[in-house]
Amino acid sequence: MNTTTTLGRTSVPAKYLPVLVTGCLFLAMFVVGGIRYEGFASGQVVLNVFIDNAFLLVVAVGMTFVILTGGIDLSVGSVVALSTMISASLMAGPGWPPYLVVPLVLVIGSGLGLVMGYIVHAFDIQPFIVTLAGMFLARGLCYTIGTDSIPIEDPTFTAFAQTRIDLFADMWISPSVIVAVVVVIVATYVLHYTRLGRSVYATGGSQQSAMLMGLPVGRTKITVYTISGFCSALGGVLLSFYMLSGYGLHAVGMELDAIAAVVIGGTLLTGGSGFVLGTVLGVLVLGLIQTIISFEGTLSSWWTKIFIGLLLFVFILLQRLFSARARR
């Protein structure tokens, strides 16, 4: 089986090609933006993409685990919204402190993911259907808490949300970026240096082969949905920092953005191949599209969706081509 592709005189393993393509796309977009728009080619522009999309990056990392096993999680956006509603309502009503609210939200998100993962495994139901039900359930729970936006005014919470971490040359990031980077590092370690990571890739590559090898396929499926639920809840906490409110209409469509970031980052929708670094690049590409449109000033925000749709078509076709070449 040919697992390398020759680029000039360099042989690149086929599994790295999608990530390489995404990285080149990001660099090309940044260069074009720098040439076309004044003030675009700066480090703070890239950092702003991280600041504005830290919550999406965390959610997309959880989605990466699920897609690597060949599954899908449509509930992540609704769980994000539910997390913001629970956080806002508990701090605004009973006046719970953030150090109690945040762990509770993470436990609830992980629990929802655990239940969905168990149903997918135990009853052998398509993940699309199970997580679709989870999406409606979580979004419905948002409206049982309240139909209006709930502001978050807790002084500790707001102080943390408004903190700026200065770097150098007048560049800065928010604490949410630090959280997102830690999640990326931990996820990368888990996928590439632990037994769970090997089971995730094996399950996505061939579930039947993984079972014959004695790998805990069922436990792996349940674990990845639990991880996705945890990341969704954590993404909801980061979105609460970003918006300083809880609202049932927060994160509408975020599940599609997360899936798009994972696919553009080179992870196969059929599972078994992909990297967290690719997901990071996918989120950066989506964020840079939004930045370019805002710099342009004359384009509607809906052009973001158009460009993302076109990119998805291109990357799905590329996945087909790379998969066909790897099988030769």
pLDDT tens per residue, range 147-169: 899 999 999 999 999 999 999 88
SS3 at position 165: strand
- Does the pTM exceed 0.95? no
Query: Which pLDDT band, with edges at 50, 70 and 90, does 323 fall under?
Result: low
CA-based Rg of the chain, rounded to a whole angstrom? 20
Domain membership of residue 6 (yes or no) is no
31: tokens are: 């260069």
Domain membership of residue 86 (yes or no) is yes
DSSP-derived secondary structure for 13-68: EGGGHHHHHHHHHHHHHHHHHHHHSTT-SSHHHHHHHHHHHHHHHHHHHHHHHHHH
Domain membership of residue 224 (yes or no) is yes
Indicate the range of 106-120, 161-175, 244-258, 302-316 predicted with least confidence. Answer: 302-316
Residue-number span of the structural domain to which 103 is assigned:
14-30+42-327
Q: Is pLDDT at 1 greater than 60 in this prediction?
A: no
How large is the average pLDDT for residues 42-48? Answer: 91
Angle (nearest 5°) at CA 24 between 289 and 71 = 75
Domain membership of residue 300 (yes or no) is yes
Report the CATH number that the domain containing residue 25 is assigned in CATH: 1.10.3470
- Strands 165-166 and 172-173, how do they pair? antiparallel
How large is the average pLDDT for residues 250-264? Answer: 94
Q: What is the dihedral of CA 225, 230, 235, 241, to 10 degrees?
A: 170
Q: Is pLDDT at 327 greater than 80 in this prediction?
A: no
- Strands 150-151 and 245-246, how do they pair? antiparallel
Angstrom distance (rounded) from CA 271 to CA 204? 4
How large is the average pLDDT for residues 74-79? Answer: 97
Q: CB under 8 Å to 159, separation ≥6 — which residues?
A: none
Mean of per-residue pLDDT scores for the chain: 90
How much of the chain exceeds pLDDT 90, in percent?
73
More confident residue, 39 or 243: 243
Output the pLDDT for position 3: 54
Residue 321 CA from chain centroid, whole number: 25
Domain membership of residue 5 (yes or no) is no
Q: Domains in the chain: how many in total?
A: 1
pLDDT in tens, 186-204: 999 999 999 999 999 999 9
Domain membership of residue 74 (yes or no) is yes
Domain membership of residue 160 (yes or no) is yes
Angstrom distance (rounded) from CA 39 to CA 45? 9
232: tokens are: 């969704």
30: tokens are: 């940044």
Domain membership of residue 8 (yes or no) is no
Output the pLDDT for position 2: 46
